Structure formats: structure tokens, C-alpha cells
Amino acid sequence: MQQLIFGLANGSIYALMALSIGMVSSTTGIVNFAYASVVMMGAMVSWWLMVIYQFSYIPALFVAIAVSIVLNIVIYETCVKKLGNLLDNVGWIITLFGASIILDNIARMLFGTEPQAFPYLFGGKMVTFFGANIMLHELMMITIAVVIGVAYQTIIKKTRFGRAVRAVAFRPATSELMGIKSEKIILSCFAMAGAVAAIGGVLIAPITFASYTMTYSIGLKGFAAAVLGGFGNTKGAFIGGFLLGLIEAFISIFVPAGIKDSISFVIMIIVIIFLPGGIMSAKIFNRNWSAAEKV
């Protein structure tokens, strides 16, 4: 039970990170390689507020969210928008990697290289849950992730904004003809992705410790989850995240901790080879596959 909850808790963060990647790639077709640095920045900024300025957890979280939203908007404005049409250049691969390296180094300078202990929500209170001792924080991780996931899907499916997001994802020029400002929609997606990244970073930091290396230690898991769920598929991102968390938790019972982290990449490679569209592209999920568009 403990392993199960631990797996789901970590998985919920992988899911949030994959969602952050998915929000951007589903509308723009690009992969925000700098997103993991935003996750890390969210964690570091809130650690700094809590330890240096005695903020409590929740206010620190909200400031971290605000900072990450701003960071992601700056990333969009400087590394993506300036490049013009994303279909005919791949400059964003370089600019976004560059942004990631810059952010990591800023974090290292501001916050030092030592991994820092990070407080748990509710002061690390434990509860008994089906006979197992579970940290309340872990249950909160899962709850918050599920709430965000459901809220996002509802917004995307049911609201005027969500319709516009899907429209821009599919046909940005035609969306403009509807009076939708495609660029504003993309900017909002970057902003939302920043917020989600920060929440993920702040929630997982107590488990991993806060450090500028989170970009790689945690960030890459987000990519693995995104690949597992299918890039740009925000529903798949959730399934991919939870699945990855669970697989990791159970495999770590049998394999030494040192190679646990490589498991996610073995899975990622297997998925890429056999199901390049992610697990959601497997046949059993697509029985009602719709007819192609007629031109």
C-alpha cells in the first residue's frame, strides 16, 4: 500500500509535468525543453521564500506559481515568438535548450549547489490509510494533480476558451478568421503550463530535495511520462505520468536504487519503438477512429 501511494504520488507529479509539456505542444507543436527548468525554479523560489523569509507553504507556492508563469511567458516571447513561423524552422530546439541552461545557472548562482531540505505540507503529518502509514503530503500530491487534470480537461472541452485552444492547435490561421487572437491563446497556454510546472516542482521538492539539478533528475521524468502518454495528448499525459510512477515504485522493490532512474528511460525507449504515438495511440483506445477530413 505504501509503495502504491508513493508510486501514485510521484506519478501525479510526472503527470503534472507531462501536462505542462502537453499544454504547449498540443497548441504549438513544439516541445518546451525549458519547462523542466521552470519546474526547478518553482521549487527553488518557494524554498527560498520559506527558508529565508519564513513564508508558509501555501503563500510560497502561490508566489512560485506567479514567478513560473512570468518565466514561461518570457520564454515564449524571447525563445519562440521571435522565431516566426514554427512550421518552417526548428530554431526553438536551440533557443529553448539555451533558456534551460541559463535558468539552471541562474538558480545555481542564486540558491547554491547544495540540495536543500524542503518542508512537507501539513508539516509531514502521517495518516493511516488502509492500514498503512501514509504521509498526508502524498495524498495531497495525488489530489491536487487529479483536480488540475480534471479542471484542465473540462476547460478544454466545455468552455469558449477551450474551444479556441483546440481550434488554434489545429488551424491557427483559420482561427484568426474567427476573430481568435491565436497568439494570445498560445501565450495563455504557456502561462498555464508555467503554473502547472511550478505546482509540480513545489509538491515533489520535499521528496527529492530542492536543487538546481531537479531540471534533470525530475524534469526528464516529465518527458518520459509525456512520451508514454503521447506528445501533445494532455489526457495521455496523465495516464503516462501515473503509470510511470507506479512502474517505478514497484520496480524499485526489485532493483537497486541506483538504476531505478534509468527505468523510466528504458520504458520511454520501448514506447517510442513500439508505440510512437504513446500508449493512447494503441488500437484498443481508438476503435471509433473518425474519418479523415474531406477537402
Partner 1 sequence: MLKVENLTIAYGKTEVVHHVSFDVKKGSVVTIAGANGAGKSTILNTIVGLHRPKEGSILYKGEDIARKAPDKLVYKGIRLVPEGRQIFPEHTVEENILLGAYVEKDAKKIRDRMDEMYDRFPRLKERRKQIGGTLSGGEQQMLAIARALMTGPDLLILDEPSLGLAPIIVKDVFKLLTEIKQTGVTIMLVEQMVDNALSISDYAYVLETGNIVFSGTKDEVKNSDDIVKAYLGNV
Question: Residue 164, interface with partner 1 (CB under 8 A)?
Answer: yes
**CB-nearer residue toward partner 1: 2 or 281:** 281
Name which of 77 and 183 has its Cβ closer to partner 1.
Answer: 183
3-state secondary structure at position 117: coil
- Closest distance between partner 1 and the C-beta of residue 169, in Å? 9
User: Which CB sits closer to partner 1, 177 or 284?
Assistant: 177
Q: Are 23 and 196 in contact (CB under 8 A)?
A: yes
Asked if 187 is part of the footprint of partner 1 (rule: CB under 8 A), the reply reads no
Report 54-93 residues binding partner 1 (CB under 8 A): none
How many residues does this entry show for the chain?
A: 295
Joined grid coordinates for residue 41: 525554479
Among 181, 262, 269, 286, binds partner 1 (CB under 8 A): 181
As beta bridge partners, residue 132 has 129
> Shortest approach of partner 1 to residue 282 CB, angstroms?
19
- What whole-number distance in Å separates Cα of residue 185 and Cα of residue 244? 30
| Per-residue DSSP letter, 124 | G
One residue of 125, 170, 266, 270 binding partner 1 per CB under 8 A: 170
Nearer to partner 1 by C-beta: 125 or 181? 181
Residue where the block lists cell 549547489 = 113
Choose one: 15-23, 258-266, 275-283, 285-293; the region binding partner 1 (CB under 8 A): 285-293
Q: Apex CA 213: angle with CA 207 and CA 216, to 5°?
A: 90
SS3 label, residue 84: coil
Read off φ and ψ for residue 132, nearest 5 degrees: -110, 150
* Site of interaction with partner 1 (CB under 8 A): 160, 163-164, 166-167, 170-171, 173-181, 290-295
